[in-house]
Homo-oligomer: A and B are copies of this chain.
């Protein structure tokens, strides 16, 4: 092996390990931090972030990359992937002036506090200047990176390399066209037999035991991971130590369960990435959309299926006999797949979910093109909500102020959620073509055939190809919303006739 290559790997590993500590500090902040220790944690985070930045922009990396660039053709394919991605990371890190990075970090912190206040007060106006500034920073960042003419594409590429506003536009347009009539049909049927949840008083300890049993059976390795509680469920860490979270409410056992399965889907991806290559592109995920496709498939296609519940229902009733007394299998299954429109994205069922995302994407595009001024966002949001979702927020707290992302300048992130749903459905079609009897596994509580298929086709491939290419290789077709539409038709059509 080329000596310069080995030294590059060593430097990338150093950076990766510092980054992993940064991640753990973030997890600890959400899960364990005493209430008055936040300022101290901010100082710790800033220190480690500074060290991570120094490691990422280490001039030695630049020298090694220059050397390896000169002999690029001599490298084998895997090494070429590593060097190519390392080159891109290094360029992106070093092209940003340190003052800019600091300015953005400082502004994000201030904007986060402004957002929490604005959401509590349900008042957008005082928060508007913070988004304006973030928009300006995002454009400057794209400029530094040589994407000055396509700043929104740059924001998208940061989360999902290879995607662009144009690509997403086409996908979303087709999806919207199919989805809106479908949603209307399902809503009409759902309105006809409107129900409220019959699930109440599920003890938290038993909920925890049940969801740990379920996620372990799906394949999550608790020898290299754990699950805790935080206000917003998330998954952090690499396959060597994956930290997931969920949240518990006694009257909503399905929320904690499906949140945990969702996060376990992310965790399974991380645990499936090649362990020895975590520091390089060979062992890293292929973007947020691909990540979301993993969590969504386990959460929706797998765990909301009849087959899944044919296996787990009896166990669920062993845990919660009293609470499920009088709740029929059909009622339970309907509750698991209940369709109830909401103004809030994170509470949305999977039928409406994609509409929430399309709304945000369309607004982001207009913000970047200048077609929409930040001050006019609330009105535009509400109009769009009425048009797409058929309901209008009564205040900005349930409208434009509901999500945290923009307060951190994370434009271009929302589309990943919907793209993830599309990829999940398309992968789901592909795997069932190969294994038509796959769902019979679930009835027997077996998930290893599916997991191995994902391991082989996606997890073990790391970031060696952009997600769009990977999808085409795996499913033998370019990404399209057709599988997602067909899946929603199939699942909810049968439920709501």
Interface residues of A (CB under 8 A from B): 14, 17-18, 20-21, 24-25, 28, 32-37, 39-41, 43-44, 47-48, 51, 221-226, 238, 240-241
Q: Are B32 and A20 neighbours in the complex by a CB distance under 8 Å?
A: no
Residue numbers in B under 8 Å from A225 (CB-CB): 34
CA distance A260 to B295 in the complex (A): 40
A-B contacts, 26 listed (Cβ < 8 Å): A17-B47, A18-B47, A18-B51, A20-B40, A20-B44, A21-B25, A21-B44, A21-B47, A21-B48, A24-B25, A24-B28, A24-B44, A28-B28, A33-B241, A34-B222, A34-B223, A34-B224, A34-B225, A34-B226, A34-B241, A35-B223, A36-B221, A37-B223, A37-B224, A37-B241, A40-B238
CB contact under 8 A between A32 and B226, given known A20-B44, A47-B14: yes
> From residue A229, how far is it (CB to closest CB) to chain B in Å?
13
Residue numbers in B under 8 Å from A25 (CB-CB): 21, 24
> From residue A235, how far is it (CB to closest CB) to chain B in Å?
14
Closest to A50 in B: B14
> From residue A200, how far is it (CB to closest CB) to chain B in Å?
23
CA distance A225 to B224 in the complex (A): 27
Q: Are A240 and B40 neighbours in the complex by a CB distance under 8 Å?
A: yes
Q: Are A241 and B47 neighbours in the complex by a CB distance under 8 Å?
A: no
Q: Are B224 and A36 neighbours in the complex by a CB distance under 8 Å?
A: yes
CA distance A226 to B28 in the complex (A): 12
Q: Are A17 and B44 neighbours in the complex by a CB distance under 8 Å?
A: yes
Residue numbers in B under 8 Å from A47 (CB-CB): 14, 17-18, 21
> From residue A319, how far is it (CB to closest CB) to chain B in Å?
20
Residue numbers in B under 8 Å from A43 (CB-CB): 17
Q: Are B241 and A41 neighbours in the complex by a CB distance under 8 Å?
A: yes
**Copies of this chain per assembly:** 2
Residue numbers in B under 8 Å from A14 (CB-CB): 47
Residue numbers in B under 8 Å from A32 (CB-CB): 226
Residue numbers in B under 8 Å from A44 (CB-CB): 17, 20-21, 24
> From residue A78, how far is it (CB to closest CB) to chain B in Å?
22
CA distance A33 to B228 in the complex (A): 12
Residue numbers in B under 8 Å from A18 (CB-CB): 47-48, 51
Residue numbers in B under 8 Å from A20 (CB-CB): 40, 44
Residue numbers in B under 8 Å from A41 (CB-CB): 241
Residue numbers in B under 8 Å from A34 (CB-CB): 222-226, 241
CB contact under 8 A between A223 and B28, given known A51-B18, A241-B41: no
Closest to A239 in B: B40
Q: A18-B48, A37-B223, A41-B241 are in contact. List 8 more A-B contacts (CB 8 A).
A: A17-B43, A17-B47, A18-B51, A20-B40, A21-B21, A24-B28, A32-B226, A40-B241
> From residue A268, how far is it (CB to closest CB) to chain B in Å?
15
CA distance A20 to B39 in the complex (A): 14
> From residue A10, how far is it (CB to closest CB) to chain B in Å?
12
CB contact under 8 A between A240 and B37, given known A51-B51, A226-B32: yes
Closest to A47 in B: B17
Residue numbers in B under 8 Å from A28 (CB-CB): 24, 28
Residue numbers in B under 8 Å from A240 (CB-CB): 37, 39-40
CA distance A241 to B29 in the complex (A): 11
> From residue A117, how far is it (CB to closest CB) to chain B in Å?
21
Closest to A32 in B: B226
CA distance A24 to B240 in the complex (A): 18
CA distance A194 to B82 in the complex (A): 71
CA distance A41 to B24 in the complex (A): 11
Closest to A31 in B: B32
CA distance A140 to B37 in the complex (A): 40
**Set B33, B223, B238: member contacting A36, Cβ < 8 A:** B223
CA distance A306 to B87 in the complex (A): 70
CA distance A33 to B241 in the complex (A): 8
Closest to A24 in B: B28
CA distance A47 to B19 in the complex (A): 11
> From residue A193, how far is it (CB to closest CB) to chain B in Å?
42
> From residue A11, how far is it (CB to closest CB) to chain B in Å?
12
Residue numbers in B under 8 Å from A39 (CB-CB): 240
Residue numbers in B under 8 Å from A223 (CB-CB): 34-37
CA distance A24 to B34 in the complex (A): 13
CA distance A43 to B36 in the complex (A): 30
CA distance A33 to B240 in the complex (A): 11
